[in-house]
Structure 1
């Protein structure tokens, strides 16, 4: 295990990003490139009667219009992972679903052609909202430990509340895009994706191609956050058009179509009941949750994974259900379940602490834990209380009065301080890597990973240059490309635990190979110079690794393009990352506008491999948490279905004026058992609990408890 902290080195892509030279998938320029634009449905459910294309084909520059008749039948279900998304369909499942694709010589011609297509529909009744008639409730298996009902019945103090989280959309700056090139029986695809293997498998399945003939490259991703974790609706369409027409095809999806065709965070409802004993110790939790789901979607309502690990409560009963309605499938969005779960649970915990007359920090510190109460396994490491204590110290929490509506400024502005904690499962995935060090001064590392803005290249560089005496200026890191290594989906904060550990094992293997080569000879200089001295052009090693409890079958799943996630419950232990957030809000007395001038966040993510990118991850998570708490909600007109505010003009997100000072701290204690580096995950846990801390601060400022997101001006009038 790495014993010393890693240095705070600059990001390897910093200069490219700030100078605008970093290349993204849609930047690929190809000779003879055509442009595609999807035509989307204007009904929420029904059938396509006829697609009239004559007017579109008459537009100068339009080459072809594809309809459902041009698309192969959906492939049979395969083992593991979600089925590939359909291409063009004649049965409409949600408003905005693709019903045709216009391909043209220019983007402008494609847009004009798209607007000229006329579609006749046979509309059917639909259920657009979670509480609409026709929604189908589908319960999933309960999560249980101890006897929550009995413990609640015997509790001295009880607290119950209902909390609501809205529909929200990702809105990364980079649009969804796919560029496909078909040449010599080989399909090359460029797509900004978190899962190039998944994209490859979806295209091969939909187009009935040999996967060996498909290569997917994801050079960099301009924001993903879960939205780009799987193949999108445009992915196979671009590939099909390239194959049928014989020219490269690019589709860049407009933001309004992204709202309707990509995944999103579903609306969810949370009913929580807490019970405490005479000593003020939390002894039972009853937690019932459900969320909206499409008719065939697979995004499970897993709201109990992190909540069970927060406070060591031995009596827990969690129920959950899908509510199936007529919408597109929801999916993973940063801290997908723990974000709304922590908003609900941490609000309830704050309410219970107040009911008991106990400071919220002190109440949480009473509930440290060393064991997973659901699976009765030891926690690999847990420094949540250290996060809380350090955050409280930095924030100045000891000066906070317990009573709400008791802090303010001379001009009447109400001030509130709130805090909340969060947890996120530590997951790992098999990975492969090839490391080559050459006598000419270059090093090339090809591995399983994607650069989606989080800084994984910087993390990999940290491990390699610490372990190896190489020239960092000539280090090339090749990731996100199925031609250089099998690519897992980069999500769930398993990138560092999987990729950085693979880099460490590759470095160790290369050092061992060099020792064999030198045979005890003392050769001066760095590795490049040593190779030159013994007249070897390069040394190369290949490694593959799996997570705790995994084996060859999981590696085979990776190589076949599937998912092979392990954790957070491993054979010998359970592992989570933790964080504590402290938030100050100010509420104007007349307008009731809420501002957040400062936040202190302290994280326990094991060993911090790249301090620069880790702090950036936490700041980004805090910004998004504030935005989710106070701004973001996607709205539906129940008369028509679909999303009303499907652009950045009407989908309100936090901007610079909404964000104050964000102070970040790291415990930076390596986890002793999770992997050789001791690194857990950080990207997802960074957001968990922020919204709860904001809501608790709003209550402390005003005395008004708001149990829904976003908290708006009208909630405080």
Structure 2
């Protein structure tokens, strides 16, 4: 593995995007396209007893209204446990907003009008939609325990204890949920905004009783996903596919944002009770951490994963972690950027900051003094760990040594209170198997087909960077096909394993192509790039295929990938554990009268192994920091307990950070290849970029004001 640094290349798809030429799933043309609109449930729990569609069918342009009777019986429950409600129309209502009918029309306007005229009737049952609702059910998750925390607390010189809360939040990507379905000659083709085209293929086929070989899913570009588009099947997919099959015409739906709030996954509200103990010298010796989260009745978003990062962050040898689901009558929560560490690091890193003040220690020095090199959950070493280096470089760039430690002691020229805060984040680094095909043509073309999805994170640019560094080919005629089940087996792109799945395979493909060209030329020396060399020996094209596995994976992982299965390795590999790390330094300014908080500057230093695409990597970190500032100061989904719905289900009322809220974000990387993680030496980056930035904001606010806020988002009323 070469350890050289990669150049800062421009995004390979930048020009097309700014010219508006990039085609997203909703842009795919098809003749005689019909438009669909969902009719959502108006109750939170109960049963559909009737569906009056007469008025809807009288609307000019409405072609059909699909009801539960138009769908095959749901497949049997698997032995692995009960899944969420199948993604079709059902009589049983599990949450407000659940689809009860689908209106299909010649125009979008007719579909909307028809959907508004469908009159469902319900039998209503009592429901629980808030974490403190009396009809909620507590479901304990698996504990995470090592050492003896109780005994360690007994000998601790300093102990702090606090409770922290993170709110329900929704993703709100710019591109809405989109499905366009075409049923032609016995084949179903779905153009879907999904991070998991293969799982969508398999789930849709299963729900409709089709052979998966009859289904293709194409998701070339996604206008933002962040986990919301990563499940096996979105609620609208099977509905639209069934409509296309029944009507024999292409059908498209673009789900309105208000319906997305109620149908798609989201970040659940969570509560965190943390106790930390340290000796007189500042060594953290014990942690007790209890986490609980909102959960649907049948949802499986894992509560125990709140411990995955905090338990590995510092050299605490005695840890007692518990977790629980609070089961409610809402749609299932799910993965959202830095799914568990966003909330877990807010709580844990706030507690570490509180401990530092209680000890009278500098918050950076305390973290540096509590480094660790071995994973306490497995006993295996970390494959690489440069968290302390992130802290040291961040402190240097930020000017941390100039900080006055006393809260409220630093002011700006306009009298605003200045606060400086620090916090860290960690995220598991995983790998997935991959299959890639590379074909170079004598006509100047290069075609690369592989696993992966482009959500705007720059996976195409990372692939192109590797291929263009290793091969002499025409960069203007390089085509990269990903997200397409008809081109290559597709893995889900999530959890920061997208680049780890795509780039090692591209590295191997480039090496194999060089070998194949050497064999083809058989010692002949021909000037020019590979295209010219192929033309010189009268070879129209040369194609190779490679497969790549994660550490410890065998042939069964590739077989699972080819079947559309889930075959993720890590972070706990056979002989080591791989994590990515980041340190954030934040300055806030708090106005003295109205207590408005500004964030003029941030310094973030990441340890993500080898940096493949410097430009898109820096963009990932900036995006994560922007989102973390938004989560810390703006974002919360408000729930109406009377009806079970979301009150601020649009971008007018769901408040997010805008340009005026964001100042300078200085991004840096350790850029040290991880020799064990994979053949390219990279680790995950997208998720860890956000982890820890929200508590850095909260810690800076405490330093500015002396007020410790333990609930997100931090609003003006908290500081008055």
Q: CA separation in 1, counterparts of 2:616 and 2:2?
A: 19
Q: TM-score, normalised by structure 1?
A: 0.99
* Structure 2 residue corresponding to 1:340, chosen from 318, 340, 343: 343
Q: 1:569 touches 1:575 (CA, 8 Å); kept in 2? A: yes
1:410 to partner: Cα distance: 3.9
1:489-540 C-alpha deviation (Å, 9 max, x unpaired): 0000101111000000111111111111122222222111111111111111
Pairs within 5 Å for 1:180-199:
180-199=181-200
Pairs within 5 Å for 1:162-311:
162-230=163-231, 231-301=233-303, 302-311=305-314
Q: CA separation in 2, counterparts of 1:91 and 1:221?
A: 32
* Structure 1 residue corresponding to 2:363, chosen from 360, 364, 385: 360
* Aligned-pair Cα RMSD in Å: 1.1
Match of 2:439 in 1: 436
Pairs within 5 Å for 1:677-688:
677-688=680-691
SS at match of 1:6: coil
Q: CA separation in 1, counterparts of 2:253 and 2:76?
A: 26
SS at match of 2:366: helix
Q: CA separation in 1, counterparts of 2:414 and 2:580?
A: 41
SS at match of 1:39: strand
SS at match of 2:519: helix
* Structure 1 residue corresponding to 2:328, chosen from 318, 325, 328: 325
Q: CA separation in 1, counterparts of 2:556 and 2:134?
A: 45
Q: 2:484 touches 2:490 (CA, 8 Å); kept in 1? A: yes
Match of 1:470 in 2: 473
Q: 1:622 touches 1:687 (CA, 8 Å); kept in 2? A: yes
1:2 to partner: Cα distance: 2.3
Q: CA separation in 1, counterparts of 2:367 and 2:239?
A: 51
* Structure 1 residue corresponding to 2:572, chosen from 569, 572, 575: 569
Match of 1:63 in 2: 63
SS at match of 1:371: coil
Q: Does 1:617 align with 2:616?
A: no
Q: Does 1:526 align with 2:529?
A: yes
Q: CA separation in 1, counterparts of 2:561 and 2:284?
A: 42
Pairs within 5 Å for 1:480-559:
480-559=483-562
SS at match of 1:74: coil
1:397-452 C-alpha deviation (Å, 9 max, x unpaired): 10101111111124331110001000000011111100001111111000001001
SS at match of 2:645: coil
1:3 to partner: Cα distance: 1.5
1:80 to partner: Cα distance: 7.5
Q: 1:405 touches 1:703 (CA, 8 Å); kept in 2? A: yes
SS at match of 2:191: strand
Match of 2:157 in 1: 156
Pairs within 5 Å for 1:93-104:
93-104=94-105
Change (3 A) 1:527 1:83: farther
Q: CA separation in 2, counterparts of 1:80 and 1:200?
A: 20
Q: Where has structure 1 moved over 4 Å in runs of 4 or more?
A: 78-84
Q: CA separation in 1, counterparts of 2:84 and 2:113?
A: 33
Q: CA separation in 2, counterparts of 1:153 and 1:129?
A: 36
Q: CA separation in 1, counterparts of 2:181 and 2:80?
A: 26
Larger mean CA deviation between 690-699 and 552-561 belongs to 552-561
1:88-109 C-alpha deviation (Å, 9 max, x unpaired): 1111111111000000000000
1:691 to partner: Cα distance: 0.4
Q: CA separation in 2, counterparts of 1:517 and 1:338?
A: 50
Q: 1:604 touches 1:666 (CA, 8 Å); kept in 2? A: yes
Q: CA separation in 2, counterparts of 1:160 and 1:83?
A: 36
1:599-658 C-alpha deviation (Å, 9 max, x unpaired): 110100000000010000000000000000000000111111111110001100000111
Q: CA separation in 2, counterparts of 1:309 and 1:397?
A: 25
Q: CA separation in 2, counterparts of 1:3 and 1:574?
A: 21
Structure 1 unmatched ranges of 5 or more: none
Match of 1:422 in 2: 425
SS at match of 2:678: coil
Change (3 A) 1:427 1:211: same
1:446-500 C-alpha deviation (Å, 9 max, x unpaired): 0001001101000000111111111111110000000000110000010111100
Pairs within 5 Å for 1:554-703:
554-703=557-706
Change (3 A) 1:466 1:77: farther
Q: How many residues align?
A: 717
Q: 1:83 touches 1:202 (CA, 8 Å); kept in 2? A: no
Q: 2:87 touches 2:234 (CA, 8 Å); kept in 1? A: no
SS at match of 1:427: coil
Q: TM-score, normalised by structure 2?
A: 0.99
Larger mean CA deviation between 415-424 and 405-414 belongs to 405-414
Q: 2:87 touches 2:236 (CA, 8 Å); kept in 1? A: no
Q: 1:481 touches 1:487 (CA, 8 Å); kept in 2? A: yes
Q: 1:85 touches 1:202 (CA, 8 Å); kept in 2? A: no
Match of 1:113 in 2: 114
* Structure 2 residue corresponding to 1:705, chosen from 708, 714, 719: 708
1:179-206 C-alpha deviation (Å, 9 max, x unpaired): 0000100011101110000110111011
